Structure 1
Amino acid sequence: MMDPLLLLLPLMLAVLVTLIGFPPLIGYLLAGFALYGAGIEALPVLEPIADLGVLLLLFAIGLKLDLRSLIRTEVWGGASLHLILTVVIAAAAIKLLGLLGIGLFAALPLAQVLTLGFALSFSSTVFAIKVLEERGDTQSLYGRTAIGILIMQDLFAVLYLTISKGALPSVWALGLLLLPLCRPLLFRLLDRAGHGEVLVLFGLAMTLAPGAALFELVGLKPDLGALVMGLLLASHPKANELSKSLFLFKELFLVAFFLTIGQQGLPNGAEIVAALALTLLLPVKSALFLALLTRFRLRLRSAIMATLTLGNFSEFGLIVMTAAIATGSMDASWLRVMALAVTFSFILSAPLSARSQALYQRVKIRLSGLERQLLHPEERPIRLGQPRVLIIGMGRIGSGAYDDLRQHYGDRILGIDHKQEAVEHHRQAGRNVVLGDATDSDFWDKVEHDSNIELAILAMPHHHGNTFTAEQLAQIQFHGQIAAVSRWPEEEEALYELGVHRVYNIYEAAGTGVAEQVLELSPHLPHRESGSETSRTASSYGNPAVPSASACPSQSKAALPTSAD
């Protein structure tokens, strides 16, 4: 029977660290150490659950990955140069610590020093993806750059693990090159998987069977198999829905992963000193990311956001240490040192990442010299033209609002979205949409516009994005009306406090929209009165000229949401 503490202690510590401003994963790590210290060993089933969590994470990354992102110079160049420089600098620092007789470093030969430096060069995929997903920034320029660098690092790790086995993959591994030929069959299966539990089962099966198991069978890392299967399905229209359906399973299974890190054992005093000494390398690692990303023409803000996301040690460092220990090239104590260093890095990275905007504001003048004059194409000034309406966030709700409001404003509407593929899709559909990230504190400094904007609609799927944009509009003294979408009552209150004039709950508005369309379709049912409360609410964007049927984005047929964008 499972010890209740295996669930209760992680829950209590996760809630506690959340209350003091840390992400819950810190609580899971501490719970692992506490459980080991209390003499409670992890169940044998915990490790395969943890492995499944990592596999699902990589599968989800593959579902959202555009392979073109890996060939960008800031991705492959940044990842490669950073790895080489980190290994060299870390190795020099470790040798210096050894000469000073600190901790366990004195006994390390050069080969082990290089292995340890290599393990320290990785950034945490789990940590970074969770941070980016919570912000809704996985498709922003800095988010795509960070994810691309993480995937390059994962590929470096797979290469190391393959070499460390002392054996090449099976000749049958060449057969994996035929996997793209199976895409039509996989797409047909996904088409027939529906939208419920069969879709979830499809995702789990693809991750484990043709993904992890098949790759492991031919001598390759199962992690790579999960990533490749996600890539094969990424272009399917249901890829995003599949990713969302697996989200809760991935999050739950990753709890087991963090618990297993703490279950590596309690470190002794020398190991704690060694871990603290390695943690001192984090500023160097972060500085390298910042210098390289600005050299590759990212704006200072994007480079800082990516640096804070990547400025930690990684679970892949633990995997590298495990492989080195299995071959006898490292002592088992270094796994505990690495586990503790990873924990320390998360504890330091979490509050810095949470305060990334504030940190950028404090250092942007001091570090402005790092920014190149010729910026990345996606970082250059944004020309808005002369719109009367701005719609920020062109998902289902934003695009529905655009189509309805076009009946009144014509071509004087402008959509803004931070996803390049979304911008291209809308332009092909005849909508006027530009690439921009309104959650970027420099966004309103980059835009070139006039004062004719009468209405701004905040239709982003993440509440913090809408609140941050509302704050930015207040700072630039925006004189037009502001409307926003929300899901929960507390979100509505926060938006009203920030000066938003009208907030629409997407769930309530969806029900209202369904009722209105039923009334319009049925001649036997009474139609709503023009002065009804629904009509007054729908037309209260602050512009009496806007027809009530087209004023509320979440009440139009095109914008009826079944969930957040």
Structure 2
Amino acid sequence: MAILAVSALVGTVAVRLRQPLICAFIAVGILLGPSGLDWIQSNDQIHLLGEIGLAVLLFVVGLKLDLHLIRSMGPVSLATGLGQVAFTSVGGFFLAWALGMTPLTALYVAVALTFSSTIIVVKLLSDKRETEALHGRIALGFLIVQDLVVVLAMVGLSVLAGQSHLHPGLQVLLVLVKAAGMIAVVSLASFLVLPRLVPLLGRSTELLVLFSIAWALALAHLGSVLGFSKEVGAFAAGVSLASTAYRDILGARLVALRDFLLLFFFLDLGSRLDMGALGSQVVASVVLSLFVLIGNPIIVMVIMGYMGYRRRTGLLAGLTVAQISEFSLILIAMGAAAGHVGQDAVGVVTLVGLITIGLSTYMILYSQPLYEWLAPYLGIFERKVPYREDAVKGLAVGTRTADVVLFGLGRYGSAIARGLMERDRHVLGVDFNPQAVREWTALGWPAVYGDAEDPEFASLLPLAGARWVVSSIREPRVNAAIAQAVRHAGYRGNLALSGDARAEVAGAAGDAADLFLVPFENAAEQAVALLLATEEEIARRHMDKVIEALSDHYIICGFGRMGQQICRDLQRQGFPHVVVEENPEQLPRLKEREVLHVAGKACEDEVLIRAGIGRARGLIAVAATDEENVFIVLTARVLNPRLQIVARSILEENEDKLRRAGADRVISPYILGGRRMAAAVMKPGVMDFVDLVLHDDSVDTDIVDVAVTAGSPAANKTLGELNLWQAYGVTVLALKHPGEELAAAPSPEVVLREGTELILMGRASQIAEASRVLTNNQPDRW
């Protein structure tokens, strides 16, 4: 418990200092070991847990082995990976030999210095969001090559560690036979057993993780029995599960276990160091550390420069190999266990690890300032011929000048670019991910590779004719670099920067930006509208003015299938109307059809006021649910007590609620539809006539609703006295006295009153003449 507590405390300090935990745990081992407080007196248990941690580490490495990344980066991954391994091995061997080590010890130390920590590099690049950058992808590619080489080195070390009286040729043949046997076992399991077994175990994540650990330990034991190391067997177990669909979830679950168990390996390693003996090894450790910190990046820069990469890419990729790996400590520990090297060699490599891991962490974190400082001296690592990554010079001469230069072709940036191109703006995309550039150019759209933080890159861009430089990258440091670089290159156009918060963007670029985009506030289309000051805002203002000028119009609340049909009928009859809709999926349809509309909830006072409810003649509530319609009717009735309100009721039991809320008429589409279908069967001719009169614009016959107004000469007269058919040629189909039910085919003796509504049928001119007698207003059409 005390050991874990001290480890947690020292680890916290290391994290605050932005140091990897490897250094912290080795330091705890030294502090609590015989050279320090002597709390670690028995190493057996810690050593066992450390051995299991190594097996899990190699299992996870095999599980996450990404050969596709090596293929995608092509020759550069193999060239830099193998080239750096060869250079460091040869150079390290002669340097260690010159420092007084025996040839075998020098060989072990040289091989240990060869490998770099994939775990540390991936963590640092991820924190800087550079795993998809060109230098990040190259670094991950050659680190995977190193992982493969370290497994081969472990196999070779296992062979060297084995004591055999056989002839060397027979010993090699025996190793090959054992390797073939192990490969056969793993292959059979991968193709025949695991595809059937793993899906069954995958139903329980805990069971799947337990099986994977057992499988890793089983193959680790098999590797040990066959004369290989346990780590090689665990690596093979990981490779066997790498092709399954469960590799990601297993990797995620086992990372925490791996890190916990590796704590004990580094504690064990630190506790075995004799601090008294290390004093004489400081000079050798410093020399070898400088060789790793300086030599490894230089060889990577030489190889990448020869292959046509720019000096900045070479330096940033080279800095990722400026430390030794946890595998370096594992290899030297294996050599000590085999009796090939002494504890002094283990101490030297451990000190080199502490120095290089600690310093290289800051070198990677502050790689950009380091590059700016070293840039004048790095010209020798760059070819004078066109750069392999310099696609700007490859743009076709004479093509249309870019209206917008867009940095970042991720999801947000791509959406902005598409929106701009749909509005006939020519966009040149820039991204530091070569894969994103290839995908963009494959669509026929211009894009170039470029790192926004490279101060020299902006001078290569066609900025002279650009109206906008837009950054969809949300990293403040990158945005500040873009702003400084383009302004320094002489760009005087508009600049838009993105960020997770508006204050963050403004703080990063100061007064350099003309527009701030916050992806979580501004969707890509909205960003396009902001950039171009599009006609959408102008159209909205114009639409609001049109709505403000309306009177005696109808408000339709809801633009579903029924709302759309209502709008079509009202538009065909020439009735002004406004739609209120909150569904974002329907709003584009309203804009496309140029329907007057207000976006928002129809039950809110402000929204209905914007729709002109105080001047409206009627409201139709066809929202998605009866509950919404009830609230709409209540709100509308309060805002305009004289409003004619028609509401849809989906459930029959809600009709009374809608009427009590204030609806003048409640219609159930299911009941109404059922009645029409029944009538279409029983009285097809009648229904055809109704459809002809109500819905066929080619027929000059209409049915209207006319109300007898106060002071009308028709008041207190009978239908027979008015004789509307003989006088005007209109037919009275029905009438309704105030407070009474609608009566069909009324008798000629019926006396009309003020407020009596008549349903008339006739031609438009005939109805107009009759309405002058009944009222001074225009009739209502059905």
Offset at residue 110 of structure 1 (A) = 1.3
Q: C-alpha separation between the residues in 1 aligned to 2:202 and 2:407?
A: 33
List aligned pairs for 1:57-206, cutoff 5 A: 59-60=63-64, 62=66, 65-69=68-72, 71-72=74-75, 74-98=76-100, 105=101, 109-166=102-159, 167=175, 168-169=178-179, 171-174=181-184, 176=186
In terms of fraction of residues, the more helix-rich structure is 1
Q: Work out whether residues 28 and 255 of structure 1, in 8 Å CA contact, stay in contact via their aligned partners in 2.
A: no
Q: Which residue in 2 is equivalent to 1:351?
A: 362
- Deviates further, 48-57 or 3-12: 48-57
1:26 to 1:326, Cα distance in 2 relative to 1, 3 A: closer
Question: Is the CA contact (8 Å cut-off) linking 1:418 and 1:435 kept in structure 2?
Answer: yes
For 1:3-402, list aligned pairs within 5 A.
3-15=4-16, 17-18=17-18, 27=24, 30-31=27-28, 33-36=30-33, 37-41=36-40, 44=46, 47=50, 48=52, 52=56, 55-56=59-60, 59-60=63-64, 62=66, 65-69=68-72, 71-72=74-75, 74-98=76-100, 105=101, 109-166=102-159, 167=175, 168-169=178-179, 171-174=181-184, 176=186, 217=222, 220-223=232-235, 225-226=237-238, 229-230=241-242, 232=243, 242=248, 250=255, 253-254=258-259, 257=262, 260-264=265-269, 265=271, 266-271=273-278, 272-273=281-282, 274-282=284-292, 283-374=294-385, 377-379=388-390, 381-383=392-394, 386-402=401-417
Amino acid at match of 1:517: P
Contact between 1:484 and 1:504, CA under 8 Å: does it hold in 2? yes
Instruction: Provide the C-alpha distance between the structure 2 equivalents of 1:128 and 1:93, rounded to a whole number of angstroms.
Output: 26
Q: Say if 1:164 and 1:250 are closer, same or farther in 2 by CA, change over 3 A.
A: same
1:482 aligns with 2:487: no
> How far apart are residue 171 of structure 1 and its match?
0.8
Alpha-carbon separation, structure 2, partners of 1:276 and 1:414? 49
The change in CA–CA distance for 1:96 and 1:66 in structure 2 (over 3 A counts) is closer
Q: CA deviation at 1:413?
A: 1.4
Question: How many residues of Structure 1 are paired with residues of Structure 2 in the alignment?
Answer: 498
Q: Secondary structure at the match of 1:165?
A: helix
Aligned-residue offset at 1:401: 1.5
1:434 maps onto 2:427 in alignment: no
Q: CA deviation at 1:477?
A: 4.1
The separation in 1 between residues aligned to 2:325 and 2:300, in whole angstroms, is: 15
8 Å contact kept, 1:212–1:226: no
Q: What secondary structure sits across from 1:4 in the alignment? A: helix
Shift of the 426–526 alpha-carbon distance from structure 1 to 2, 3 Å rule, reads: same
Write the letter of the residue equivalent to 1:505.
V
Provide the residue aligned with 1:403 in structure 2. Answer: 418
Q: CA 1:223–1:29 in structure 2 vs 1: closer, same or farther (change >3 Å)?
A: same
Native 8 Å contact 2:297 2:315 kept in 1: no
Shift in CA distance, 31/508, structure 1 to aligned 2, threshold 3 Å: farther
Instruction: Please give the residue correspondences for 1:532-543 in structure 2 after superposition, counting only pairs within 5 Å.
Output: none
Aligned equivalent of 2:462, options 424, 429, 449: 449
Distance 2:151 2:508 in 1: 46
State the shift of 1:314 in Å: 1.6
- 1:35-89 Cα offsets, whole Å, 9 max, x none, are 54444559859644576466546644628x42414751x3323333332332222
TM-score with structure 1 setting the length: 0.73
- Letter of the 1:404 counterpart: G
Alignment partners' CA distance in 1, 2:211 and 2:446: 38
TM-score normalised by length of structure 2: 0.55
User: Does the 8 Å CA contact 2:403/2:466 hold for their aligned counterparts?
Assistant: yes
Question: Does the 8 Å contact 2:316/2:367 carry over to 1?
Answer: yes
The residue type paired with residue 179 of structure 2 is: P
CA distance in 1 between counterparts of 2:259 and 2:402 reads: 45
> Greater relative contact order (Cα 8 A, min sep 6): structure 1 or 2?
1
In 2, Cα distance between the equivalents of 1:316 and 1:349? 17
Q: Distance in 1 between matches of 2:437 and 2:148?
A: 30
Which residue is 1:421 aligned to?
435
**Residue from 501, 508, 521 that aligns with 2:514:** 501
Asked if the contact 1:119–1:321 (Cα under 8 Å) also holds between the matched residues in 2, the reply is yes
* CA displacement at 1:342 relative to structure 2: 0.6
Aligned counterpart, 2:587: 520
Deviations 1:371-424 (A, max 9, x none): 22335532454456621122211111111212222222x250122222233233
Percent sequence identity is 20
Separation in 2, partners of 1:407, 1:212: 57
CA shift, 1:301, in A, is: 1.5
Q: Which amino acid aligns with 2:133?
A: S
Q: Match for residue 633 of structure 2?
A: none
Q: In the TM superposition, what is the alpha-carbon distance from 1:161 to its structure 2 partner?
A: 0.9
Structure 1 stretch displaced more, 167-176 or 215-224: 215-224
Where 2:377 maps in the other structure, the secondary structure is coil
Q: Offset of 1:189 from its aligned partner? A: 6.4
The structure with the larger Rg is: 2
> Is the CA contact 1:459–1:485 (under 8 Å) kept in the aligned structure 2?
yes
In the TM superposition, residue 8 of structure 1 has moved relative to its aligned partner by 3.1
1:449 is displaced (CA, Å) by 1.2
